[in-house]
Structure 1
Amino acid sequence: MAVAQELYGTPASRLDSFVSQWLQPTRKWKEEVLEVVRTVEQFLRQEFFHWEQGLDQEVRVLKVVKVGCFANGTVIRGTTDVELVVFLSCFHSFQEEAKHHQAVLRLLRKKAYSCQDLLALGLNDLSVAQGVPDTLVFTIQARETEEPIGITIVPAYRVLGPSVPNSQVPPEVYVSLIKACGYPGNFSPSFSELQRNFVKHQPTKLKSLLRLVKHWYQQRARDIQLTVEQWGHYDLIIRMNPYESVMKVKEKIRQIRDYAGLQRLSFQEPGGERQLLSSHSSLAYYGIFSDTHICLLVTVSPEIQVFVKNPDGRSHAYAIHPYHLILGLKQRIEDRQGLPSKQQQLEFQGQVLQDWFDFASYGIQDSDTIILTKKAAEEALFPPR
């Protein structure tokens, strides 16, 4: 708060000095963060990937682009989150990107786990985070301070070609975007270089103004009330700044309830899909600026979390073991929601899940969504042969 008081007591003639003293990162710290980023970029550029099940081509990295405040020159002191957009050879259209986005994220996660350079930097919290679009997130440590640095990797279609044009983008680019009929924001990383370059080449005065605006928002954003719902527990009410990270929300929950397990928080907008909240993102990133409800699930390795989406569009989170039977989840749904297991039909990616198969046999992974419907009364129930 001392910094906020200093800002309001600073005359306009001394704002440049305020930005330099309080908001601009030190050169040493910025270089330390960028050194970590260079390790990640090297990992991405040197790897040649091969497709997993259902995919039939080699994946090459065409270009890695830093975006956000570290790239455009408006980073604020203390910022430790860096976002990279990676353009891949396998995306020849927005439709292909949408189709293969999840497979690419799984492949990147698999490759990151085997990268010795990342492991040497304390690779941690590696996961696929739900968002717009979904991303690969993890933390690695700065070499000298050993402070954790959050890295977000976003695969994207290189719609703008080998070089970003300085002139107007060709109309056919936007025509192809409209025809893709994607969810709003899903393809925005393809245009991230335009935004980066626009801010990057602005005068220092404007960048200082952007830093001040960011700082003002962080200082003045009012706390909001979060009602944390957990099956089998009373609701927990906490107050948080929407610009604080989801990690801090988890830390507060851990302090109050003394949890030792892995926490997963999810959020669902009215009429929207349930989203898993990434520890590295803020509540504001998900558009959470007012009092709201979030769901908590605590799991113990090697459990994973899945979302079960009801016919009414609402989703519930369940912790499952990949090698447990589908029938076990149906019984838990019956206990929690009242729908008899014999009347339930569970589907994943168009496949009806059979009671006597396990989750791993269907390729179900952490944070995947399973669709729940009610069987017709006349349907017979037989275990698979």
Structure 2
Amino acid sequence: MAGPIILDPADPTNNLAKGKRWDLVAKEAVHCLRQTCCYIEDPSRGWQVQDLYETPADRLDAFVGQSLQPQWERKKEMQDAWQRIVQFLRDKCFQDELILDREIKVLKVVKAGSSGKGTTLKCSSDVDLVLFLSCFYNFKEQAQYREVIIRFIQEKLDHCSRSLAYNISLLPSRVGARAPRSLSLQVQARKSSEVIQVDVLPAFNALGSFCPGTKPSPEIYEDLIKSDGHPGEFSSSFTELQKHFVKSCPPKVKSLLRLVKHWQLQYLKSKHRKVPLPSKYALELLTIYAWEMGTDESDNFEMDEAFVAVMKLLRDHEDICIYWTKYYDFQNEVVRSYIKHKLKECRPIILDPADPTNNLAKGKRWDLVAKEAVRCLRQACCYIEDPSRGWQVQRAREIQVTVKKTGEEAKILSVNPYSLIWKTKTRIKNMYDITGNLRLSFQEPDGNRQPLSSRKTLADYGIFSKVGIRVLEVFPPEIQVFVKESGDQNKPYAIDPDDSIWVLKEKIEAAGGPYVDDQILKFQGRKLKNHHSLRDLQIKDCDTIMLIRRD
């Protein structure tokens, strides 16, 4: 009898294989054997499918190269699908059409996601296309008209899909989701079983003619913040920055990114499909941060040490605060205030280096990530014979602290935000040769001044960026009081509680403030008389007194 034979053990007359399309089964089996799930490092072992957790730590480079690097044939097929859809969007979709009473031009199409960043996995078949259109004049118009544009593209694809040499099916939007931000397609070559998912994201061209290596104007980010969109709603407008940020990493870092993303897909998403987990991009950024801090951006590192460092960061996620100043920084007042506010959110914090509105760590189940990271650290892939070789990665970058003491030149320190403040006090005492008690304080964005406790850290106060600290030397029984002007100037002063308000005014004048006769001091809404003492007025340590200058 020709063909495969599978006789039913209970019925010898029944060949279960007869008359079936085994050619299709064989074709898919061949495809499957090329995937990660069928990789065997040593084929003689048999039955043993290569698994990350069973891979020795010193074999991780080989695992990435053999199991995770995308195949050239697959790249070509995805590239062809991408090019055909781009050509359709550029040349046919909006031709001779008026939408919203506007003629629409495609300004540029940018490949985003893993395929755009150069971190695609071997088995991945997703392509993101960001479509920058002339009809969006600002961020608010993108939010207002995006859904109309998406529906128009959908109708055009329905009408013109025959000309693309691909079978195209539109994927429905998620139930209960906000207005769609993208159009999701499944694209299949008519001569292949391969299915590629394409997401098309219409966007406002906020960056204009982007030039890699340049920093966008801070006004762009000011407009983004003032547009008052949902966090990350307009991230697609900054796709080129996101893409350049990851793509500019050395090849070995991209291999590490593939390894971490494979871990996420294999051991997290497969177990928790309906749970909000951190995105691939969030883990990419965390991995890049670990590499920057652990190697000082060297491209010569051991893959096992790198992977262990990332798993330890994920395990200790509660204190993570990660951000960059490559594309936006603290120079612009609006942007500075906004970033400092974002850095005070509940940790973990991973700010998108291209979009300060988007904390990629927010609202995710990091407890599940940490649990799996702990499990991973116990596996063969994380076993390092000499643990002292590992990377030392702080959970947040060191902060530039400008230390100011009245009458002295300001000094700059680099401080770990998780280091206890008493350690910083010791450094400052040695710098200024201080013999008395040292009191430190910082001014919050709202203009109020707050003392820094020796037993706490800067992180406890939500300080993760540049900060100015005032130094005050106090000799008992002196206390520290803060004097705040209407212009938000707020300074600390050391004074004996039994001294009069007149003495405090003299101290203010000596420190560069207005003359004594030009000062009006108020506490809790009451005007303070010169002859009263601070004790009489029940002014205590760290209280704030308002200073008003006479006209």
Change (3 A) 1:285 1:154: farther
Which residue does the alignment assign to 1:85? 130
Q: Following superposition of structure 1 onto structure 2, how do residues 206-245 of structure 1 map, counting pairs within 5 Å?
A: 206-221=253-268, 223-224=271-272
Letter in 2 for 1:223: K
Change (3 A) 1:287 1:30: farther
The yes-or-no answer on 1:187 pairing with 2:250 is: no
Mind listing any 5+ residue stretches in structure 1 that lack a counterpart?
227-239, 244-283, 291-385
Change (3 A) 1:132 1:56: closer
Query: Structure 2: how far apart are the matches of 1:193 and 1:136?
Result: 19
For each residue in 1:167-211, what CA deviation from the matched residue of structure 2 results, as whole angstroms up to 9, or x when unmatched? 222110001101111111210000011011111121110000000
The yes-or-no answer on 1:75 pairing with 2:120 is: yes
* TM-aligned CA deviation for residue 16 of structure 1: 2.1
Stretch of structure 1 that moved more, 136-145 or 26-35: 136-145
Change (3 A) 1:165 1:26: closer
Letter in 2 for 1:103: V
Letter in 2 for 1:140: V
Which residue does the alignment assign to 1:6? 51
Matched positions, count: 237
Letter in 2 for 1:22: S
The question of whether the paired residues in 2 share the 8 Å contact of 1:113 and 1:119 is answered with: no
Query: Structure 2: how far apart are the matches of 1:131 and 1:38?
Result: 30
Change (3 A) 1:36 1:2: closer
Query: Structure 2: how far apart are the matches of 1:225 and 1:10?
Result: 25
Change (3 A) 1:286 1:141: farther
The question of whether the paired residues in 1 share the 8 Å contact of 2:161 and 2:168 is answered with: no
Which residue does the alignment assign to 1:175? 222
* TM-aligned CA deviation for residue 140 of structure 1: 1.3
Letter in 2 for 1:188: S
* TM-aligned CA deviation for residue 84 of structure 1: 0.4
Query: Structure 1: how far apart are the matches of 2:182 and 2:161?
Result: 21
Aligned equivalent of 2:246, options 199, 218, 224: 199
The yes-or-no answer on 1:163 pairing with 2:189 is: no
Query: Structure 2: how far apart are the matches of 1:74 and 1:165?
Result: 19
The yes-or-no answer on 1:138 pairing with 2:185 is: yes
For each residue in 1:13-71, what CA deviation from the matched residue of structure 2 results, as whole angstroms up to 9, or x when unmatched? 4322211111111100111111111111101110335344xx11111101000001111
- Tell me: higher relative CO, structure 1 or 2? Use CA pairs within 8 A at least 6 residues apart: 1
Aligned equivalent of 1:151, options 188, 198, 212: 198
Query: Structure 1: how far apart are the matches of 2:51 and 2:194?
Result: 27
Change (3 A) 1:133 1:102: closer
Aligned with 1:115: secondary structure? Answer: helix
Change (3 A) 1:132 1:242: farther
Query: Structure 2: how far apart are the matches of 1:225 and 1:36?
Result: 28
User: Greater Rg, structure 1 or structure 2?
Assistant: 2
The question of whether the paired residues in 2 share the 8 Å contact of 1:109 and 1:126 is answered with: no
Q: Following superposition of structure 1 onto structure 2, how do residues 1-385 of structure 1 map, counting pairs within 5 Å?
A: 6-47=51-92, 48-49=94-95, 50-52=97-99, 55-117=100-162, 120-127=165-172, 130=177, 134-221=181-268, 223-224=271-272
RMSD between aligned alpha carbons?
A: 3.2
For each residue in 1:344-363, what CA deviation from the matched residue of structure 2 results, as whole angstroms up to 9, or x when unmatched? xxxxxxxxxxxxxxxxxxxx
The 4+ residue runs of structure 1 with deviation greater than 6 A are 1-4, 240-243, 284-288
* TM-aligned CA deviation for residue 100 of structure 1: 0.9
* TM-aligned CA deviation for residue 115 of structure 1: 1.8
Change (3 A) 1:193 1:81: same
Aligned with 2:137: secondary structure? Answer: coil
Query: Structure 2: how far apart are the matches of 1:158 and 1:125?
Result: 25
Question: Quick one: percent identity of the two aligned structures?
Answer: 41
Which residue does the alignment assign to 1:367? none
Which residue does the alignment assign to 1:311? none
Query: Structure 2: how far apart are the matches of 1:6 and 1:139?
Result: 29
Letter in 1 for 2:56: P
TM-score, normalised to structure 1, is 0.55
Letter in 1 for 2:271: D
Aligned with 1:31: secondary structure? Answer: helix
Mind listing any 5+ residue stretches in structure 2 that lack a counterpart?
1-36, 40-48, 279-359, 367-551
Aligned with 1:114: secondary structure? Answer: helix
The question of whether the paired residues in 2 share the 8 Å contact of 1:97 and 1:157 is answered with: yes
Aligned with 1:123: secondary structure? Answer: strand
The question of whether the paired residues in 2 share the 8 Å contact of 1:124 and 1:139 is answered with: yes
Aligned with 2:131: secondary structure? Answer: strand
